[in-house]
């Protein structure tokens, strides 16, 4: 019985450490999602202001793909 009592605190501390690690990972994921949101928001603002061209290189064949993104919404102040 004494051995079982000694294992309980170490198991409890291990569980506490696991919870802390999960908390850190959730915080890191939240930060990454915030950064992604900022990037997408700035991209949308740019698209709404003027045309945007993305050049994407295929990692397998190294071919370059060009994607043109334009807005169909009239900007303020323009006739």
- The tens digit of pLDDT for each residue in 11-44 reads 888 888 899 999 999 999 999 999 888 888 887 7
Domain chopping of the chain, boundaries: 2-69
At residue 79, the pLDDT reads 45
Q: What is the dihedral of CA 17, 20, 22, 23, to 10 degrees?
A: 180
Apex 23 CA angle, 20 and 29, nearest 5: 145
Average pLDDT in the 56-79 region? Answer: 76
At residue 72, the pLDDT reads 65
């Amino acid at each position: 019985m004494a051995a079982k009592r000694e294992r309980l605190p170490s198991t409890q501390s291990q569980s506490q450490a696991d919870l802390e690690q999960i908390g850190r990972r959730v915080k890191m994921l939240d930060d990454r999602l915030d950064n992604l949101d900022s990037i997408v928001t700035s991209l949308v603002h740019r698209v709404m202001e003027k045309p945007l061209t993305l050049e994407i290189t295929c990692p397998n064949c190294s071919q370059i793909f060009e994607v043109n993104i334009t807005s169909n919404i009239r900007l303020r102040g323009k006739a």
